[in-house]
Amino acid sequence: MTDPRDADGSSSELDLSLLDGFSFACRPDCGLCCFSSPRLEGTDEERLRLMVPSLRVIAREGERCIASRPDGGACELLDHLRCRAHNARPAPCREFPLSIHIGTRIQATVVLSCPGLSVSPLLERKGGRSAPSRFDGLETELASARDRLVPVAARLRVEATRRQRKIARELAAQGRWVDDEEVRRKLSHRPLSPGADEYFPDELPSAVEGLEPLPMYFDGRDGPVALAQGGGGWEALELMAEGGSKPLGEAVPPEQPPDLTEDGRALLEGYLRYWLARDCFLAAVHLDMERVPEGTVVETALEELHAIGSDVLARGAVRAQLRGDAGARLDREGVERGIRATDQDWLDRPTWGRRL
């Protein structure tokens, strides 16, 4: 990608430092990311119609999207875990598991719900922005994202920077503003995992309200597993590509944070540090602060990291119960299962910036 300079002289270059250490290989037995209605843009629809003339397109929040099958089913183009139009698939499919946030800089991060990515770099990352980043298997995803960024990067970044400055001015007037690098510096030596008083996992929607908003994860089954609020706890449902679901069992999220093995705790801390490094996280925190009348950016960021950690622990513990490991301490694999069932949910939050 070219490196257009913005009006303030800074760069619209894509920051790749959060890809450092990751490698990606799509799993042929997965299909998790195809339980969606991918957005169409540019020439996507035209190219797809050449391959699939019967393509059904729906309008959603002002955008055109490929229709998915009813009742939580997969994208209409998914056929036995294969995309019927792989070579013409739209941008969100070409670029997953990359997620690009356009804020005061343009930053790439990986969606850790995808089981084609290893989580071990979370333990090894030392933070910072230094280039060059080492990553493997994300080159075609990045090439697609760069192509789309070239014509819009500088403009979107200027717009986002303007929105960020407005929020910063409002919060500074209330004495609550702390800039991003200072937030990261102040939290760099604090434990980020929730303690007993900071453990508040989110309640889940009920499946009766629809299967689409439920957190999903890949569990080696034909379809992804979704977690929903059940009668006495959470229920696990296997989603069917054609729509509908099959109940797998129920489990009760723990009332206290589960005990962690040493490597489980290290992975959770590494994961929350990854969140702190994501620009989309602090951009979402700022938006939340506009609705909350008190607290500084540092305090709010820490509370929200505790909330993310709470979801990882609750979902990891429920997945352990569903596997018959009730009562066990959460080890590294247990925490990883919680991360897989959590990451996409929090990445979907609104920010003052834009997602590509």
Q: How far is the CB of 117 from ligand SF4 (least distance, A)?
A: 7
- And the tokens for 47? 């190219």
Task: Give the binding-site size for ligand SF4 (rule: CB under 6 A).
Answer: 23
Helices H, strands E: what count in the chain? 11, 13
Rg (CA), the chain: 20
Identify which of 107, 152, 124 has the alpha carbon closest to the alpha carbon of residue 273: 124
Contact 21, 121 (CB under 8 A): yes
Q: Which residues contact 285 (CB under 8 A, 6 or more apart)?
A: 297, 300, 301, 304
Cα atoms in the Cβ-side hemisphere of radius 13 Å centred on 122: 27
Q: Which residues contact 88 (CB under 8 A, 6 or more apart)?
A: 44, 47, 48, 50, 51
Q: How far is the CB of 34 from ligand SF4 (least distance, A)?
A: 3
Q: How far is the CB of 56 from ligand SF4 (least distance, A)?
A: 12
- And the tokens for 180? 């991003």
- As a whole number of angstroms, the distance between CA 138 and CA 128 comes to 20
Options 6, 13, 23, 30; binder of ligand SF4; rule CB under 6 A: 30
Q: What is the dihedral of CA 284, 285, 287, 292, to 10 degrees?
A: 150
Residue 265 engages ligand SF4 in binding (rule: CB under 6 A): no
Nearer to ligand SF4, 109 or 164 (CB): 109
Options 16, 31, 91, 313; binder of ligand SF4; rule CB under 6 A: 31
Q: How far is the CB of 212 from ligand SF4 (least distance, A)?
A: 14
Nearer to ligand SF4, 66 or 225 (CB): 66
What residues between 35 and 94 interact with ligand SF4 by CB under 6 A? 36, 38, 66, 75, 77-78, 83, 85, 89, 93
Q: How far is the CB of 241 from ligand SF4 (least distance, A)?
A: 10
Contact 251, 259 (CB under 8 A): no
Per-residue binding string, ligand SF4, 336-355, x by CB under 6 A, is --------------------
Contact 277, 184 (CB under 8 A): yes
Nearer to ligand SF4, 27 or 162 (CB): 27
Cα atoms in the Cβ-side hemisphere of radius 13 Å centred on 142: 20
Q: How far is the CB of 197 from ligand SF4 (least distance, A)?
A: 35
Residue 88, CA distances (Å) to 17, 24, 94 in order: 29, 21, 9
Q: How far is the CB of 224 from ligand SF4 (least distance, A)?
A: 9
Nearer to ligand SF4, 157 or 340 (CB): 340
Q: How far is the CB of 203 from ligand SF4 (least distance, A)?
A: 25
Q: How far is the CB of 33 from ligand SF4 (least distance, A)?
A: 3
Sign of torsion, CA 252 216 343 31? positive
Q: Does an H or E element contain 338, and which?
A: helix 332-340
Per-residue binding string, ligand SF4, 112-151, x by CB under 6 A, is --xxx-----------------------------------
Q: Which stretch binds ligand SF4 (CB under 6 A): 2-10, 25-33, 277-285, 333-341?
A: 25-33
Q: Which stretch binds ligand SF4 (CB under 6 A): 23-31, 98-106, 177-185, 273-281?
A: 23-31
What residues between 205 and 224 interact with ligand SF4 by CB under 6 A? 218
Q: Which residues bind ligand SF4 (CB under 6 A)?
A: 26-27, 30-34, 36, 38, 66, 75, 77-78, 83, 85, 89, 93, 96-97, 114-116, 218
